[in-house]
Amino acid sequence: MKQEMLNMVLQAELKSFGLNPSEWDIEKIHAADYMIKHKTDKDFTFWGKLQFSKTKRPTWKILQLASI
């Protein structure tokens, strides 16, 4: 899956964590590690880790508050 498409899918999945996807930017840090930053408050960030499956697309394994 291309990175742009993956970011769109992961951003949409933020809803399952109670976040409004349109308010967040996603940045890949490492293979399965991502930084999720609020668009207007750049100090409000989460660290996310992906879970990979052979039969499905990657999904969030964990989202952890990094800073507020």
pLDDT at site 1: 58
Which residue, among 22, 14, 20, 18, has the nearest Cα to 48 in the 3D structure?
14
pLDDT at position 50: 92
Nearest to 67 by CA among 34, 50, 32, 43: 43
Place 4 in a pLDDT band, splitting at 50, 70 and 90.
confident
pLDDT tens sequence across 10-64 = 999 999 999 999 999 999 999 899 999 999 998 999 999 998 877 778 888 999 9
Residue 40: the pLDDT is: 95
| Entry pTM | 0.82
